[in-house]
Amino acid sequence: MQMKKWQFWLGVFISILFLWLALRGLRLGDFWGAMQKANYIWLVPGILVYFIGVWVRAWRWHYLLGPIKKIPTSTMFPITTIGYMGNNIYPARAGEVLRAVILKRKEGVPVSASLATIIVERIFDGVVMLAFVFVNLSELAKLTGASGFVGNIQQVAVIGTGIFLGALLVFLLAAMFPHATAKIGLWGIERITPKRLHTRIISMMNKFLDGLASLRSPFNVLMVFFTSVIIWLLETAKYWLVMHAFDFSVSFFALMLMNGIVNLATTIPSAPGYIGTFDAPGIAVLTAYGVDQATAAGYTLVLHVALWVPITLLGAYYLTREGIKWSDTLREEAETTSEA
């Protein structure tokens, strides 16, 4: 996806800044020593557990799309991995739009409806990440003395919780009262947007509201929340398994905290692949737990690669297997959708 140059270079600058903050004072000899002593066989079960989590993500998306169209999880899984690939190699989480466009091509689901379910996913993910932080607030209070990025996370968690819960409330109200929401939306559209675009925007709004249909049931909301917790616990399990490759040990709860902080930090604009914004807070959390900087840096780098490479390769494989080419037509379709 083509991005404005200033947005791309801003992301690169932020990534470089975060990497500098994370790696300043690092002794390269100690770092390479930690990397050479690592037992990389632990990456295998870690990656397997992670892919189980991706499958649960595909099931969750299938569940959210259920009121619009019943699509098997086996069909959703390849599209989900393609979306991960897009997020990993393009800025601004472009993979989210990419998977909505591919789902439209394959299954005829309107892009606006798909994007509504994807936004709901991200809101629930954010709520769970903040829950991971809150569960460990008492532990976090012990780490703020020399923890770098961790020091202000309590305040960030409170603000973030307000934002995510506020967004979730808005979406739940929109789902439960679609007609009232449509009336309010129509009122705004008629007064804010050009008349020539009214028909198109109203159609997109209605399809978007259709995408929220799964949230009209309290049981469905609980199911989406439950699966979101499972997804992030499985990802934390990968953190725990990869930890065994290195010469240190922290609790599973410490890794839950790291997972929450790291994934909240990756919402900050950065170079593709969350370079820097993933690594700096991860290293900061581990050093705050007493892990030496070289080992923390080695572990975080290997974890980042293990999270990035397998899913990106699998997404690229499925993109090729599905017969979908990353052509100018697909790129333009995705860009037009993201701008709409």
Q: For residue 39, is it within any domain?
A: yes
- What pLDDT was estimated at residue 287? 87
Q: What is the arithmetic mean of pLDDT over 32-39? A: 93
Q: For residue 70, is it within any domain?
A: yes
Which stretch, 238-247, 279-288, 331-340, has highest mean pLDDT? 238-247
Q: For residue 18, is it within any domain?
A: yes
Percent of the chain with pLDDT over 70: 85
Q: For residue 292, is it within any domain?
A: yes
- What pLDDT was estimated at residue 163? 78
**Alpha helices, DSSP H, located in 42-146:** 43-65, 73-89, 94-107, 111-135, 137-141
**Can you tell me which residue has the tokens 């305040």?**
155
Q: For residue 3, is it within any domain?
A: no
Mean pLDDT of the chain: 84
- What pLDDT was estimated at residue 158? 65
Q: What is the arithmetic mean of pLDDT over 223-245? A: 96
CA dist 20 to 159, 280, 289, Å? 26, 9, 21
- Residue 242: domain span: 9-339
Q: For residue 247, is it within any domain?
A: yes
pLDDT band of residue 150 (cuts 50, 70, 90) is low
**3-class DSSP state of 184:** helix
Residue 137 clears pLDDT 80, i.e. is over it: no
Residue 211 exposed, middle or buried by CB count within 10 Å (0-12, 13-18, 19+): buried
Question: How many residues are there in the chain?
Answer: 340
Q: Please give the DSSP secondary-structure letter assigned to residue 175.
A: H
- What pLDDT was estimated at residue 160? 67
- What pLDDT was estimated at residue 339? 44
d(CA 80, CA 75): 9
- Number of domains composing the chain: 1
Backbone φ and ψ of 247, nearest 5°: -90, 65
Residue 177 carries which side chain, given as an amino acid letter? F
Structure tokens at 117: 């379910």
pLDDT in tens, 295-313: 999 999 999 999 999 999 9
Q: For residue 320, is it within any domain?
A: yes
Structure tokens at 63: 């569940």
More confident call, 81 vs 172: 81
d(CA 124, CA 130): 10
Residue 29 clears pLDDT 80, i.e. is over it: yes
More confident call, 91 vs 103: 103
Q: Is 19:275 a contact under the CB 8 Å cutoff?
A: yes
Show Cβ contacts of residue 254 under 8 Å, excluding neighbours closer than 6 positions. 136, 139, 285, 289
- What pLDDT was estimated at residue 328? 47
- What pLDDT was estimated at residue 243? 97
Show Cβ contacts of residue 83 under 8 Å, excluding neighbours closer than 6 positions. 95, 96, 98, 99, 315
Of 63-72, 235-244, 322-331, which range is least confident?
Answer: 322-331
Q: For residue 2, is it within any domain?
A: no
Q: What is the arithmetic mean of pLDDT over 164-172? A: 82
Which own/partner pairs from 200-204 qualify as long-range (CB within 8 Å, at least 24 positions apart)?
Answer: 200/340, 204/112, 204/340
Structure tokens at 129: 């990440």
Residue 1 clears pLDDT 50, i.e. is over it: no
Which own/partner pairs from 195-202 qualify as long-range (CB within 8 Å, at least 24 positions apart)?
Answer: 200/340
Residue 159 carries which side chain, given as an amino acid letter? I
CA dist 61 to 39, 98, 124, 153, Å? 35, 15, 12, 30
Q: Is 247:42 a contact under the CB 8 Å cutoff?
A: no
Q: What is the arithmetic mean of pLDDT over 58-78? A: 93
